[in-house]
C-alpha cells in the first residue's frame, strides 16, 4: 500500500523553539510538497521540491525552510516557531509529468505553538 508518512501527528511547542516536521514517501515520487491547512483558507503551499536538494518557494514560505537530502524524505523546519504557525501541516508527493496529477497526502501534523 503506497504511503506518505509524517513523523508526528500532534506537536506542542513553545514560541521561539525550532521545530522539525519529517515526511517520508515510499512511492519513488519526484515531487514533494508541504502545505498548511487553516479554516477558511484551504490548503496553502509552503514549499515544494521536484528533485533531491532542489526546493522552490510556494505561496507562504516566510518563517519556514525545507530540506531534501534523499528522494524519499522532505523535512519542514520552523526556525523560530510563532503562534501564527499553529496549524495543520500536510506533506504530499506526486510523480512528474504533463500534469501535476494526483497528490498523495500524509495524515497531517497538528502543530500548536504556545
Partner 1 sequence: DQQVKQNSPSLSVQEGRISILNCDYTNSMFDYFLWYKKYPAEGPTFLISISSIKDKNEDGRFTVFLNKSAKHLSLHIVPSQPGDSAVYFCAASAPYDYKLSFGAGTTVTVRA
Binding site for partner 1 (CB under 8 A): 4, 9, 31, 33, 35, 40-45, 48, 50, 56, 58, 90, 92, 96, 98-108
Question: Minimal distance in Å, beta carbon 95 to partner 1?
Answer: 11
CA distance linking residue 19 with residue 3, whole number of Å: 23
Question: Minimal distance in Å, beta carbon 17 to partner 1?
Answer: 24
Question: Minimal distance in Å, beta carbon 112 to partner 1?
Answer: 14
Composition of the chain by helix, strand, coil, percent to 5 = 5, 55, 45
C-beta of 43 vs 77, nearer to partner 1? 43
Q: Contact at 8 Å (CB) between 66 and 83?
A: no
Work out the angle at residue 22's Cα, subtended by the Cα atoms of residues 17 and 24, and round it to the nearest 5 degrees: 180
Residue linked to cell 515510499: 26
C-beta of 7 vs 17, nearer to partner 1? 7
Question: Minimal distance in Å, beta carbon 72 to partner 1?
Answer: 17
Amino acid at each position: 500500500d503506497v504511503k506518505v508518512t509524517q513523523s508526528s501527528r500532534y506537536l506542542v511547542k513553545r514560541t521561539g523553539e525550532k521545530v522539525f516536521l519529517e515526511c517520508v514517501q515510499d512511492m519513488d515520487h519526484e515531487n514533494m510538497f508541504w502545505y498548511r491547512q487553516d479554516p477558511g483558507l484551504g490548503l496553502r503551499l509552503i514549499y515544494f521540491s521536484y528533485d533531491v536538494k532542489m526546493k522552490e518557494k510556494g505561496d507562504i514560505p516566510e518563517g519556514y525552510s525545507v530540506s531534501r537530502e534523499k528522494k524519499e524524505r522532505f523535512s519542514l523546519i520552523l526556525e523560530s516557531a510563532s503562534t501564527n504557525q499553529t496549524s495543520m501541516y500536510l506533506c504530499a508527493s506526486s510523480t512528474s509529468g504533463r500534469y501535476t496529477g494526483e497528490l498523495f497526502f500524509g495524515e497531517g501534523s497538528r502543530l500548536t505553538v504556545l
